[in-house]
C-alpha cells in the first residue's frame, strides 16, 4: 500500500509539474498547489486505510455538508480536466464509445465512465466512492452519468434537483430546494452512520465563502492593465476552489496568490509580455490545448484576461448568508451561471466586458457541454449589439481532441485578431486626432 501511495505521489507530481510546467514556472506558488493536490488525492486514494468515506460529487454540488462530516469529496469533472490536460481524453472517450456510449455524450462523462472500468488516466483512476452526490444545476447529463456510476459501484446516489431559474428565484423553488437539503443531510447521516454536525458546517460554510471571496479577488487582479494573470492561469489555480472549498488550505493558497498578483502588478509583470489586446473567454477551457491557445493569442499580443468559467465558482456569493449557511446555500447553488436564463447570462458577460475592459469576446462552442454552448449564439448577438466588440466562436471540445482542427482554428483566430487590431488602430487614431 505504501508503495502504491508513493507511486501515486510520483504520478500526480509528474502530472502537475509536467503538464503545467510552463505556466507554473511563472508562479512560484505552484509548489504549494502541487503539495496540496498531492495530499488531497493521496488522502482520497488511501481513504480505505484511514477509514474515511469518499463521495463523488458534481462540480457545482453542495460540498460543505460532506466536509463537515469528514467525507472526502472527489470530483470526476476535475479528474476529467486532468485527463484532458494530459491528452488522455481521446483514448478514454474511445473506450466509452466501444462500451456503447454515444460520441455526442459529454466527454467528461465518457472519460469518467471509461476510466472507472480501466483505472486509466493520469492518476490511475479515482478512489472508489462510498456514495455519489449529483446536483443538476450544471446540466442534465450528470443525472444519467451518476446513475451509471451508482450501478457500476453499487453505492447510494443522492440527487439534488435545482429547477432552472430563467429570472429571479421563486418562492416555490426556494421551498423545493431547501426541503431537499434536509433529505441530503439525512442521506449523509445514513451513509456515515452518525448525526449531522450542524456546528461544524457553519465553520465549513464560513471557510467556503471566504475561499470564494478570495478567488474573486484573485480574478479581480486581471482588471489591471496589463493583467498579471490570464484566464489560462486561472484555469490552473481554479483546482482548489473546485476541489477543496470549505477547507483552510484554500484560504492560505489564495491569500498568497492575491499577494503574488499584487506584487506582479507593482513590478509591472504581465501574463502576456506585451499585452496590447484584452479578451474575454466563454465556456470551459480546451484542456488539451491551453498552451497552444495561450501561445497563439500571445503571438498577437493578446491576453485572455478573464473568463465566464472560472468566475462561476464565485458568482453566487451574494446569495450566501454566513450566519445561515445551510439555508442560503440552497439559493446560491441553484442560481449558478449554467442554471439561469440566456438574458441573465448575457448581463453577466456584459458586466465582465466592462469590468475587465476587453477588446473582444472569444466563445468556445463546446461539443460536450450543451447547457454552456446552447445559448452562445444569442449571447454573442447581445454582446455585439450592446458593446459592439468583435466576437469569435471556435468549435472544439474540452477533452476530446478529435474535434479540434488546428489550422482552421488558427485561421479564425488570426482573422479575428486582424479585425481587432484594425479597429484599435482606427480608434486610437481617432482619439489622437481629438487630442
Partner 1 sequence: MITAGIDIGSITAKAAIVDGGKIIATKIIFTGYNAELAGQKVYDEVLIEAGLGKTAIDKIVSTGYGRNAVGFADKSFTEIMAHAAGAYFLNPLIHSIIDIGGQDSKAILLDDKGKVKNFVMNDKCAAGTGRFLEVMARALEVNLDDFGTMSQKSASPSKISSLCTVFAESEVISLIARGEKRQDIIAGIHESIAARVSSMLARIGVQKPAMITGGVARNSGVVLALSKKLDMEMEVSPYAQVNGAIGAAILAAAL
Q: Which residues of this chain interact with partner 1, rule CB under 8 A?
A: 377, 384, 390, 393, 395, 405, 407-408, 411-412, 414-415, 418-419, 422, 426
What are the grid coordinates assigned to 336, written together?
449558478
Looking at beta carbons only, is 122 or 285 nearer to ligand SF4?
285
Contact status: 106 vs ligand SF4 (CB under 6 A): yes
Among ligand SF4, partner 1, none, the one that 395 touches (CB under a kind-dependent 5 to 8 A) is: partner 1
Min separation Cβ 405 and partner 1, Å: 7
Q: Using the Cα atoms of residue 206, residue 209, residue 212 and residue 216 in order, give the sign of their dihedral.
A: negative
Per CB under 6 A, the list member of 24, 42, 95, 141 interacting with ligand SF4 is 141
Contact status: 336 vs ligand SF4 (CB under 6 A): no
Q: How many residues does the chain have?
A: 435
**Which positions from 350 through 369 interact with ligand SF4, judged by CB under 6 A?**
368-369
Tell me phi and psi for residue 360, to 5 degrees: -160, 165
Per CB under 6 A, the list member of 115, 142, 150, 238 interacting with ligand SF4 is 142
Tell me phi and psi for residue 405, to 5 degrees: -120, 100
Tell me phi and psi for residue 401, to 5 degrees: -70, -15
Among ligand SF4, partner 1, none, the one that 105 touches (CB under a kind-dependent 5 to 8 A) is: none
Spatial separation of the C-alpha atoms in residues 334 and 338, rounded to whole Å:
9
Spatial separation of the C-alpha atoms in residues 143 and 157, rounded to whole Å:
10
DSSP assignment of 362-415, as one string? EEEEESS-HHHHTTHHHHHHHHHHHH---EEEEEE-SS-GGG--HHHHHHHHHH
Contact status: 372 vs ligand SF4 (CB under 6 A): yes
Min separation Cβ 79 and ligand SF4, Å: 12
Spatial separation of the C-alpha atoms in residues 301 and 278, rounded to whole Å:
9
Looking at beta carbons only, is 399 or 417 nearer to ligand SF4?
399
Binding piece for ligand SF4, criterion CB under 6 A, among 134-142, 157-165, 327-335, 374-382: 134-142
- The CA distances from residue 47 to 42, 198, 279, in Å, are 8, 23, 42
Among ligand SF4, partner 1, none, the one that 139 touches (CB under a kind-dependent 5 to 8 A) is: ligand SF4
Min separation Cβ 182 and ligand SF4, Å: 26
Q: Are 367 and 337 a contacting pair, CB within 8 Å?
A: no
**Which positions from 395 through 434 interact with ligand SF4, judged by CB under 6 A?**
none
Min separation Cβ 297 and partner 1, Å: 15
Partners of 363 in the β-ladder: 282, 393
Looking at beta carbons only, is 131 or 138 nearer to ligand SF4?
138
Binding piece for ligand SF4, criterion CB under 6 A, among 8-16, 135-143, 243-251, 355-363: 135-143
Among partner 1, ligand SF4, none, the one that 407 touches (CB under a kind-dependent 5 to 8 A) is: partner 1
Among partner 1, ligand SF4, none, the one that 344 touches (CB under a kind-dependent 5 to 8 A) is: none
Contact status: 277 vs ligand SF4 (CB under 6 A): no
Side-chain half-sphere exposure of 198, counting CA atoms within 13 A = 7
Among partner 1, ligand SF4, none, the one that 354 touches (CB under a kind-dependent 5 to 8 A) is: none
Cα Rg, the chain, nearest whole Å = 21
What are the grid coordinates assigned to 197, written together?
454536525
**Secondary structure tally for the chain: helices H, strands E:** 20, 8
SS3 content of the chain, % helix, strand, coil (to 5): 60, 10, 30
Spatial separation of the C-alpha atoms in residues 204 and 217, rounded to whole Å:
20
Interaction pattern, residues 193-212, with ligand SF4; x per rule: CB under 6 A: --------------------
Partners of 266 in the β-ladder: none
Q: Which helix (H) or strand (E) holds 72?
A: strand 72-74
Looking at beta carbons only, is 60 or 228 nearer to ligand SF4?
60
Contact status: 57 vs ligand SF4 (CB under 6 A): no
Looking at beta carbons only, is 111 or 271 nearer to ligand SF4?
111
Looking at beta carbons only, is 133 or 138 nearer to ligand SF4?
138
Q: Which residues are at the interface with ligand SF4 (CB under 6 A)?
A: 77, 106, 108, 138-139, 141-142, 284, 368-372
Amino acid at each position: 500500500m505504501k508503495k502504491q501511495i508513493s507511486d501515486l505521489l510520483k504520478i500526480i507530481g509528474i502530472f502537475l509539474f509536467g503538464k503545467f510546467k510552463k505556466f507554473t514556472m511563472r508562479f512560484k506558488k505552484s509548489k504549494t498547489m502541487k503539495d496540496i493536490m498531492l495530499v488531497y488525492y493521496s488522502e482520497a486514494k488511501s481513504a480505505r486505510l484511514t477509514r474515511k468515506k469518499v463521495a463523488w460529487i458534481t462540480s457545482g454540488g453542495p460540498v460543505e455538508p460532506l466536509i463537515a462530516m469528514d467525507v472526502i469529496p472527489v470530483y470526476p469533472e476535475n479528474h476529467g480536466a486532468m485527463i484532458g490536460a494530459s491528452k488522455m481524453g481521446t483514448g478514454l472517450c474511445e473506450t466509452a464509445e466501444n462500451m456503447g456510449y454515444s460520441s455526442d455524450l459529454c466527454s467528461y462523462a465518457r472519460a469518467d465512465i471509461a476510466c472507472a472500468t480501466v483505472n486509466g488516466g493520469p492518476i490511475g483512476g479515482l478512489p472508489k466512492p462510498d456514495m455519489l452526490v449529483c446536483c443538476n444545476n450544471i446540466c442534465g447529463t450528470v443525472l444519467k452519468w451518476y446513475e451509471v456510476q451508482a450501478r457500476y459501484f453499487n453505492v447510494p446516489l443522492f440527487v439534488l434537483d435545482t429547477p432552472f431559474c430563467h429570472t429571479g428565484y421563486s418562492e416555490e423553488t426556494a421551498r423545493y430546494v431547501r426541503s431537499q437539503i434536509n433529505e441530503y443531510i439525512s442521506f449523509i447521516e445514513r451513509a456515515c452512520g452518525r448525526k449531522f454536525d450542524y456546528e461544524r458546517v457553519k465553520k465549513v460554510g464560513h471557510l467556503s465563502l471566504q475561499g470564494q471571496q478570495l478567488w474573486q479577488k484573485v480574478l479581480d487582479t486581471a482588471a489591471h492593465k496589463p493583467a498579471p494573470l490570464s484566464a489560462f492561469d486561472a484555469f490552473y489555480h481554479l483546482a482548489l476552489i473546485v476541489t477543496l472549498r470549505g477547507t483552510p488550505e484554500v484560504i492560505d493558497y489564495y491569500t498568497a496568490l492575491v499577494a503574488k498578483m499584487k506584487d506582479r502588478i507593482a513590478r509591472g509583470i504581465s501574463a502576456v509580455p506585451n499585452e496590447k489586446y484584452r479578451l474575454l473567454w466563454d465556456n470551459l477551457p480546451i484542456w488539451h490545448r491551453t498552451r497552444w491557445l495561450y501561445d497563439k493569442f500571445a503571438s498577437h499580443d493578446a491576453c485572455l484576461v478573464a473568463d465566464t468559467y472560472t468566475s462561476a465558482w464565485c458568482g453566487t456569493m451574494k446569495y450566501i448568508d454566513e450566519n445561515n449557511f445551510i439555508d442560503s446555500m440552497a439559493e446560491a447553488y441553484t442560481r449558478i451561471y449554467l442554471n439561469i436564463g440566456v438574458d441573465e447570462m448575457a448581463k453577466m458577460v456584459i458586466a465582465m466586458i466592462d469590468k475587465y475592459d476587453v477588446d473582444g469576446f472569444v466563445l468556445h462552442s463546446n461539443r460536450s457541454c450543451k447547457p454552456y454552448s446552447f445559448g452562445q449564439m444569442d449571447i454573442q448577438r447581445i454582446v455585439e449589439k450592446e458593446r459592439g466588440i468583435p466576437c469569435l466562436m471556435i468549435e472544439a471540445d474540452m477533452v476530446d481532441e478529435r474535434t479540434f482542427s488546428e489550422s482552421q482554428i488558427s485561421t479564425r483566430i488570426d482573422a479575428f485578431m486582424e479585425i481587432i487590431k484594425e479597429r484599435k488602430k482606427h480608434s486610437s487614431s481617432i482619439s489622437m486626432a481629438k487630442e
